[in-house]
Amino acid sequence: MRSLCTFYQEKIYFIIYSFLFLSSFVRMMSVSNDRITTRCEFYNQTMCNEANGDGGRSCTREEECEAQGDGKRSHCYVVWKGDENGNLNLTLKGCFLNNEDCYNKTACVERAQKPKNSYLFCCCEGNMCNQNFTWEPAPTEPTPVKAVNPVSNQMDNIYLPIGIVMIAVLLGVIGGFVVYWLYRRHKHVFNELPSMEPHPRPPPSPYLDLRPIQLVEIKARGRFGAVWKAYHKTEEVAVKVFPIQDKQSWLSEQEIYKLPYMDHPNILQFIGVEKRGDNLQAEFWLITEYHERGSLCDFLKAHTLTWLELCRIAESMTMGLMHLHEDVQGKLSDQLVKPAIAHRDFKSKNVLLKNDMTACIADFGLALIFYSGKSCGDTHGQVGTRRYMAPEVLEGAINFTSDAFLRIDMYACGLVLWELVSRCTAQDSPISEYRLPFEEEVGQHPTLEDMQESVVQRKVRPTIQQNWRNHPGLAGICDTMEECWDHDAEARLSASCVMERVIMLRRYQNTSTAMRIENDSPLKENNM
């Protein structure tokens, strides 16, 4: 049996050793401020597929990682797919930004039980450590808990809980200090940059608090920059890169996404923002969910739609627009949770298609928020894409109210409905090549004067083919689009009204088709 003195002596030694260990750990994390360069094997499957006829020489090469300062580290990584037969499909290799999960790993090994989104990921430290990589799932059996022998000494039983509490409190204080210090100095979780700062402060270092995101390929280019397909570990994401001169658009767009109740299935899902680089080389990243089908405009160029697909896209698109336009009231009558928002650049390029053929709305760089009791400010009225501009926008005669801006969006919505119908197989004629609204009337690159003459003065609208009206459902959509692009803004339909009409037309058409099939059935003829 141990004496009480021996018991406390052991506890004191334990506390001292714990403190020395934690202090050494803190010093170890503090010492290395030198910039260490790492070399990794680089591979990009997309770039490799585009390198035709070079025998694969451009597929794999050596890459020197960017030097990381302030105690940061560079790592190497691999992303690949594996099948049941053990075959590997390599996707990406290269340098990886500072991440605690990669610390002190000399081999690139994935230990996850199941691939995420069919992909496997590993990272490691050391020059060219990602040349070889393996998948070794960790065992799932829980580690058995060893039984603790009871202390027989009565006095030890009395003072043991008190000693444990004292040790726990002391270790908690030390551990809290270390965790807080590491959080302040080596924080690796994502930290969003605020859209508005109450007090000016110097800009953050471009190498702090960045997600390890690997840009893969450019999927689209727009007015405010390029949209990249990227990977965050094994997760596909989209990264919209704004150059420094478009920082305000980056701030405006994230302000929209950060409003309450903006998490909606028909609004592009927001992940976060980052600043990369510094001074004139700075870039501003907007990170969102990635959709492989891309924009509705690009999809229609290469595909046609069935009647049900048209309805699915139109319903979800107008549902997202309705959610954007409506304000959400809180439990109290005077409490506004989500204000009404006008998109101001609604078009098929800014509608994305998901894999299930539903739509979500993106690109809020020009969007306008309408807070209750506040004016729109000194916003410029004549913004957006020319061919989608409403007559009142083209002639500079906008009534600066929330309702007026929402009706401008609905004019553009009518043009997008026209694009959907023009590529629908339900029409009783061959499907013509995809064309933008007014492309037949003013060409692919109209000037502002071209659009003013056609839309305002001559009141021209895209041509509705007569054979479109031979299909009852398409005829209803044609009537709806005409009411959306009415020259009189007050006469235009709301987003909720358009959505309800599409739902009604789809149900009516489905019912009519079912009744026709039933009437044409041989069984019914035999029963008569």
Comparing CA positions, the residue from 233, 229, 298, 244 lying closest to residue 275 is 244
Residue 349 is labelled as binding a ligand: no
Length of the chain: 528
Cα–Cα distance measured from residue 76 to residue 64, given in angstroms and rounded to the nearest whole number: 10
409 is catalytic: no
Strand partners, 116: 119
How large is the angle between the packed helices 402-422 and 495-519, nearest 10 degrees? Answer: 30
As given in the structure block, the two tokens for residue 271 are: 């992940």
Rounded to the nearest 10°, the torsion over CA 263, 265, 267, 271 is: 50
Strand partners, 463: none
Contact 58, 47 (CB under 8 A): yes
**Residue 47: burial class (beta carbons within 10 Å; 0-12, 13-18, 19+):** middle
Handedness of CA 468, 469, 470, 473 (dihedral sign): positive
Residues with Cβ < 8 Å from 166, sequence gap 6 or more? none
Contact 8, 163 (CB under 8 A): yes
As given in the structure block, the two tokens for residue 386 are: 């020319």
Q: Alpha helix (H) ranges present in 186-237?
A: none
Q: Which residue has the tokens 């994502």?
A: 190
Handedness of CA 24, 30, 33, 38 (dihedral sign): positive
Radius of gyration of the chain (CA): 31
From 246, 345, 409, 486, active-site residue: 345
Burial 479-513 (b: 16+ CB within 10 A, else e): ebbeebbbeebeebbbbebbbebbeebbeebeeee
DSSP state of 281: G
Pairing relationship of beta strands 213-222 and 235-243 according to DSSP bridges: unpaired
SS3 283: strand
Amino acid at 390: A
Cα–Cα distance measured from residue 407 to residue 339, given in angstroms and rounded to the nearest whole number: 16
Contact 76, 40 (CB under 8 A): yes
Which residues are catalytic, by number?
345
Annotated binding site for ATP: 240
Annotated binding site: 240
